[in-house]
Amino acid sequence: MIARYALLGLLPVVAVAALSQRRRLAAIIGMGLFSILLAVVYLLLHAPDVALTEATIGVALVAAIYVLAIRRTGRLTVVADEAPRLLSREGDRIVGLEHEILEGFARHLGLDLSIQFVPYRDVADLVSRGEADIGAGGLVPDENVGGLVTKAYLETALFTLGSTPTPAASVPPAVHYEGYFDDLDPEAIYRSTDPVTLDLARFLAVRRSDAPVDSIVRHPKQSGYAFLTSGRRRSLHADLEAYLDGLRDSGRLDRLIRRFLG
């Protein structure tokens, strides 16, 4: 009897606790807890069949469907190409300037950040198809990228590298490249005569790797790193712009830039 009333009293407490969770996964876990307690109450009321149904539906089926539903909506999915110092892997961790910005933005929205590394050329396509919320990783978007681009958070420059092909035997192992170049074949710079255009961050990494580059042409056009959102996600775009403005105004962006690139 006392147990039943104690559980009944606990139910609204758990319900309010579940509703007031900021993280959605925590809210779902709270809902599952509520269902379990309710099932125990049913059991104490001599209704084992109802208790069983409540436990299986409330905890297993509904929670599973909710978890599946929030796996994309409860997280901020970012697709990115690795860019040294901006967004790159360091062992199991992801570090860099963009990581700090995106992590703060996700926390600001109450979402979990999920970064997936994809080839550079796929970033815009995945974002425009709605598979990911934000495209990042040292993006230097041009006008016809197809999507909403934020104001540049950092200036950069584009360099076109040209080289004479080197015989395959003298190509040094790709290990020099630190895994930064998912998008372009690391040996392409050695083998091909086609010029390759790189942004400043990737350009510096190539320079550090002793690639035999014959000509370097700096593009005169002003360019900058920015984030990309789908054309249909206007509110997300506006949120991100506002967040970046806030970072800029408070001087935090400058501090971050100095920390990662200074």
Partner 1 sequence: MKRRPFHAAVIGAAVCLAVLVLLAFHSAPPEYAPHTTFVERPVEETGATNRVASVYLNYRLYDSILEILVFFVAVLGVRYYLGRRERAALPSLAESEVVRTSAALLFPLALLLGVYLAALGHLSPGGGFGAGVIMASGLLLTSIAVGIESIERRLRRAALERIERAVLLVLLTMMLLPLLFGSAPFTDLLPKGRPGTVLSGGSILLYNVLIAAKVLVGSWLVLGSFVRHRGEI
Q: How many CA atoms lie within 13 A of 253 on its CB side?
A: 16
Beta bridge partners of 87: 83
Binding positions for partner 1, 125-154, rule CB under 8 A: 126, 129, 131-132
3, 19, 60, 238: which one binds partner 1 (CB under 8 A): 60
Stretch that binds partner 1, among 57-65, 95-103, 181-189, 214-222 (CB under 8 A): 57-65
CA angle 204, 240, 157 (to 5 degrees): 25
Strand, coil or helix: 80: strand
Closest CA relative to residue 196, chosen from 156, 161, 157: 161
- Give the interface size with partner 1 as a residue count (CB under 8 A): 26
Kindly state the smallest distance separating residue 131's Cβ from partner 1, in Å: 5
Residue 188 as a binder of partner 1 (CB under 8 A): the answer is no
Residue 52 as a binder of partner 1 (CB under 8 A): the answer is yes
Kindly state the smallest distance separating residue 64's Cβ from partner 1, in Å: 6
Closest CA relative to residue 174, chosen from 205, 197, 198: 205
* Residues 181/146, Cβ–Cβ less than 8 Å: no
Chain residues in the site for partner 1 (CB under 8 A): 48-49, 51-53, 56-57, 60-61, 64-65, 67-72, 77, 79, 114, 116, 118, 126, 129, 131-132
